[in-house]
């Protein structure tokens, strides 16, 4: 007898797939074909007039945002685990941008859409508004990116990656520091302690160097001009 695997079911808004049903179905079929250790597997879907469901693999630890906001669970995410989570998200985005055909822009990279498995490995999830890079795509819907550009490019994900990486290191969204770090003239005035999660011990020198490198890299992802940001493939962690 085969062992049944646990699954997670996401119910979509009733109007989501009805806007462009053919396009929606094409995207779902393509996403089912994605196989990467840092991307949550989409097993299947169920669509009818009343319900639209996506069936994913079940990931043990739940979403990163919940863990970071929990006083007890967040302390289990030591600096090395956090660095590994950031690397995992970068690997997932690199796969989507470079190895998928056509390339895929997730559009909603955030701590709510990154899940952790039992080994604290990152799994990018919920491609509800993912878009394939084609000339006729509609405008970018990533809210943070809308402040800078209305064009759909991989830089939408790069910007969100920068915000997420800093959130993981700080343990919460940086708020006003996002603008400060995006500005080359004010970035150097930010103290490292202001960017670290105070719930964790101050990092040792070896780990501190890695965190400083990631902070500089993440800050470059926030630059106002998208062309000035690194591509996700150029982000080596």
Reported as a single tens digit per residue, the pLDDT across 188-204 is: 778 899 999 999 999 99
Give yes or no for residue 136 having a pLDDT over 70: no
Q: What's the whole-number mean pLDDT along residues 125-146?
A: 50
Mind telling me the catalytic residues?
108
Q: What's the pTM?
A: 0.83
Instruction: Assign a CATH topology to domain 59-234.
Output: Transferase(Phosphotransferase); domain 1 (1.10.510)
pLDDT value for 20:
56
Mean pLDDT estimate for the chain: 82
Per the model's pLDDT, the better-predicted residue between 87 and 54 turns out to be 87
Lowest mean pLDDT among 62-66, 132-136, 170-174, 214-218: 132-136
Give yes or no for residue 123 having a pLDDT over 90: yes
Angle, to 10 degrees, between the axis of helix 205-220 and the axis of helix 155-170?
150
Give yes or no for residue 149 having a pLDDT over 80: no
Q: Which distant-in-sequence residues (6+ apart) come within 8 Å of 215 by Cβ?
A: 165, 166, 169, 181, 192, 195
Reported as a single tens digit per residue, the pLDDT across 69-111 is: 999 999 999 999 999 999 999 999 999 998 988 888 888 899 9
Residue 129 pLDDT grade (very low, low, confident, very high; cuts 50, 70, 90): low
Residue 46 pLDDT grade (very low, low, confident, very high; cuts 50, 70, 90): confident
pLDDT value for 140:
37
């Amino acid at each position: 007898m085969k062992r049944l695997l646990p699954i997670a079911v996401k119910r979509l808004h009733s109007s989501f797939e009805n806007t462009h049903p053919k396009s929606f179905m094409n995207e779902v079929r393509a996403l089912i074909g994605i196989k990467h250790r840092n991307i949550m597997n989409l097993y299947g879907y169920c669509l009818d007039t009343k319900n639209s469901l996506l069936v994913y693999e079940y990931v043990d630890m739940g979403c990163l945002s919940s863990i970071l906001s929990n006083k007890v669970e967040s302390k289990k995410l030591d600096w090395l685990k956090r660095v590994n989570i950031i690397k995992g998200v970068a690997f997932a985005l690199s796969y989507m941008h470079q190895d998928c055909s056509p390339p895929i822009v997730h559009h909603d990279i955030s701590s709510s859409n990154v899940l952790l498995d039992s080994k604290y490995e990152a799994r990018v999830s919920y491609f509800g508004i993912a878009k394939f890079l084609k000339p006729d795509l509609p405008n970018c819907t990533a809210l943070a990116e809308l402040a800078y550009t209305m064009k759909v490019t991989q830089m939408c994900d790069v910007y969100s990656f920068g915000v997420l990486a800093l959130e993981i290191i700080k343990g919460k969204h940086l708020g006003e520091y996002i603008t400060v770090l995006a500005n080359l003239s004010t970035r150097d005035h930010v103290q490292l302690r202001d960017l670290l999660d105070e719930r964790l011990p101050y990092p040792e020198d070896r780990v501190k160097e890695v965190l400083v490198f990631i902070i500089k890299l993440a800050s470059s992802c926030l630059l106002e001009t998208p062309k000035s940001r690194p591509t996700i493939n150029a982000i080596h962690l």
